[in-house]
Amino acid sequence: MRAETEAAIAAAKIALRITDSREGADIITPKVGIDLVTDTDVRCEDAIRAELLWRFPDYPVIGEERGGVAAKEQLLKWQN
């Protein structure tokens, strides 16, 4: 299996644990119009980003909640 596939599976498993816990599911924030986001959504994306950037620091990661930022900028954010 390719390293990228292994990283994606690992990130998905982390997000699944967060989703299953439902922690933050009751904290709902409007984004634009009727589009809503829960803290669980954001936590999942942050965890996926962290896992992917840890494994591939030079790859950009783009997500629905946080958008896209250059990979090295994201990694610096996670390390602080």
Sign of CA dihedral 51, 65, 27, 74: positive
17-61 pLDDT, tens digit each: 999 988 877 787 778 778 888 889 889 999 999 999 899 988 888
List of domains in the chain: 3-79 (3.30.540.10)
DSSP string of 9-65?
Answer: HHHHHHHHHHHHHTTTTT-EEE-STT-EEEHHHHHHHHHHHHHHHHH-TTS-EEETT
Q: Which pLDDT band holds residue 5 (cuts at 50, 70, 90)?
A: very high
Q: Which two tokens stand for residue 24?
A: 């933050």
Contact 41, 74 (CB under 8 A): no
Checking if the pLDDT of 67 tops 90, the result is: no
pTM equals 0.74
Q: Output phi, psi for 45, to 5 deg.
A: -65, -40
